[in-house]
Amino acid sequence: MSACGLLYARLNAQVLSVGGRISPDLRRAGDALPCIVYELQQDVLMEVLGSPVPRMSVAHMRVHCLADTLIAADALADSVFTALHAVGWTSGGSTAHIAVVRGRSGGVLEDDRPDGLDLAREIILDLDLTHS
């Protein structure tokens, strides 16, 4: 299973407040909030000589936690952090050895029409996921 598959399985099982609204790469316009969108930035293969698991990968990922308000987005990011940071899990015969949240930032998704209003708030978590 890919890093994206492992991440989706963990989020879907552990972060129930989004009601399954977890998507790779993009959120459809008009989808209900809160939701999670994740993206794979890079997956680097590592050869580890003498290790019980000689071939592992480190996936650099970004998880966007979107909600109507900054407080709600921050609470969702806290739930995602708790589900992922410094833990490992298995799914579909693959193993996430450890996930480490290495950064957190915030943002606003804006309506691009003249005089448009803010559409949503987001908290972005940068994640390293070691998997095999």
Q: What is the CATH number of the domain that holds 49?
A: 3.30.2000.30
| Mean pLDDT of all residues in 56-68 | 93
pLDDT, tens digit (0-9, with 9 covering 90-100), for 8-57: 999 999 999 999 999 999 887 778 899 999 999 999 987 766 666 667 89
Domain that holds residue 73: 3-131
Return mean pLDDT, the chain.
87
* Number of domains making up the chain: 1
8 A C-beta contact, residue 65 and residue 106: no
Query: pLDDT grade, residue 120 (50/70/90)?
Result: confident
Compute the 3-state secondary structure of the chain and give helix, strand, coil in percent, each to the nearest 5: 25, 50, 30
pLDDT score for 28: 75
Report DSSP letters for 9-67, one per residue.
HHHHHH-GGGTT-EEES---TT--SSEEEEEEEEEEEEE-TT-SS-EEEEEEEEEEEEE
